[in-house]
Amino acid sequence: MVKSKIYTTYKGGTNRMITQKIKFNTILKGMTIFLFIFFMIQNTMPVVYAATTTTKIMPLGDSITDCDFWRTLLFNKLTVNGYDVKFVGSQGTHEGHSGMLVTDLAATTNLTDWLSASNPDIVMMHFGTNDCWSNKGTEAILDAYTVLVAQMRANNPNMKIVVAQIIPLHPNDDADYIARVKDLNSSMLSWSRDLSTSESPITLVNQYSGFDTSTDTYDGVHPNNSGSQKMCDKWYETLAALLAISPTTPSSTASDLDGTLQLTTETNAWSTGSTINLYIKNTSNAKVSGWKLIINKSDITISNIWGGVLTESDDTYMITPLSWNQVIDAGGTINLGIQTTGIPEANFSYTLE
């Protein structure tokens, strides 16, 4: 604030008053010019946003994506190799919807809403199994793919799109499902080539080759352990090449400081079993080295595990870390998972230490 005295009663007061007014007006003019220049600069300066290095990936599909056969395997493989990624979607970490047909989804704006909620950088899609089962036809499926690609690019003109040539299908002997899948997969070659752009490339992943429904699925449709690993490895090969940033070396520095650990879960259940994603968060301000999760057998029956080592006793399961996830940074979270037979208790008993 500029303060100015105005003299009005002293000898020669008129001249002194005029002098002070001139000084005051000069200061006001100077301030006006300064403010004008300041606001002009402010209005012409570019807006700079904080950069993020985490790549958001949306897995999109039906039950083969919904039931966590390969998702956690893939996420763990990416992170253990140093890629900073986050799986996103309205289902927690994905957009897998059991029983969904891609031709049905394309007739809605659901994908537009899901994309707006999570704004992924990459969409990876294994979709069309139910359409082949229902004999919708290759042309209808590819038309649906095209609609979804347009919705992806409307959300992000630089969206990277990864589309699987889907795994073989043989739920029964009622029809030649394999022929339907083969026709779709072969037709994807020209479809992707015609629709791909430099700004938003479409990359195909051949999930079909080397996959056997008799040995890699448990029902002719959904992958078992060996099938899940095959799918994970093929996704990984493509995603690792697409990720723009170089992987960083994961920290393996251990600390003996204790921390507070918190467990949250995400369950995908079906009639005969479930997969459960386990998220262990370190809520303290120091690294935690080593952890142990003990679950009562009376509440759950574990048939498979990824991201940890499973040891059984008479009454409990004990899960301990692998080498790459034994250290949890301050405020950090690790992800592992289990597969169960039967439906587990909604609130199973456990001890986390």
Q: Going from the first residue of the chain to its last (353 residues), give the mean pLDDT of each consecutive group of 10, the final group possibly shorter.
A: 33 41 46 45 35 82 92 91 92 95 97 97 97 97 98 96 96 94 95 93 94 94 94 92 55 39 80 80 84 88 83 87 80 84 76 86
Whether 42 and 59 share a structural domain = no
Domain of residue 228 covers: 55-242
Q: Is residue 253 assigned to a domain?
A: no
Helix or strand holding residue 173 (H, E): none
The rounded distance, in Å, linking the Cα atoms of 320 and 63 is 29
DSSP summary character for residue 347: T
Please tell me the predicted confidence (pLDDT) of residue 218. Answer: 92
Are the C-beta atoms of 335 and 94 separated by less than 8 Å?
no
Please tell me the predicted confidence (pLDDT) of residue 11. Answer: 37
The number of domains in the chain is 3
Please tell me the predicted confidence (pLDDT) of residue 274. Answer: 77
Q: Which of 352, 344, 288 is nearest to 318 (CA)?
A: 352
Amino acid residing at 197: T
Please tell me the predicted confidence (pLDDT) of residue 7. Answer: 35
What are the tokens at 110? Answer: 């659901």
Whether 154 and 178 share a structural domain = yes
Task: Compute the radius of gyration of the chain from its Cα atoms.
Answer: 30
- Hunting for tokens 């606001």 — which residue is that? 39
Q: Is residue 252 assigned to a domain?
A: no
β-partners of residue 93 are none
Whether 136 and 160 share a structural domain = yes
Please tell me the predicted confidence (pLDDT) of residue 182. Answer: 95
Whether 202 and 60 share a structural domain = yes
What are the φ and ψ backbone dihedral angles of 293, each rounded to 5 degrees?
-115, 120
Whether 335 and 215 share a structural domain = no
Please tell me the predicted confidence (pLDDT) of residue 253. Answer: 30
Are the C-beta atoms of 286 and 329 separated by less than 8 Å?
no
What are the tokens at 131? Answer: 């359409």
Q: Which of 268, 265, 233 is nearest to 339 (CA)?
A: 268
Whether 66 and 197 share a structural domain = yes
Whether 164 and 208 share a structural domain = yes
CA angle 115, 118, 123 (to 5 degrees): 60
Whether 98 and 142 share a structural domain = yes
Burial 271-281 (b: 16+ CB within 10 A, else e): eebbbbbbbbb
Whether 135 and 210 share a structural domain = yes
Whether 195 and 271 share a structural domain = no
Please tell me the predicted confidence (pLDDT) of residue 184. Answer: 96
Q: Is residue 249 assigned to a domain?
A: no
Whether 194 and 59 share a structural domain = yes
- According to the 3-state scheme, what is the secondary structure of 273-330? EEEEEEEEEECCCCCEECCCEEEECCCCCEEEEECCEEEECCCEEEEECCHHHCEECC
Q: Is residue 255 assigned to a domain?
A: no
| CATH code, domain carrying 327 | 2.60.40.290
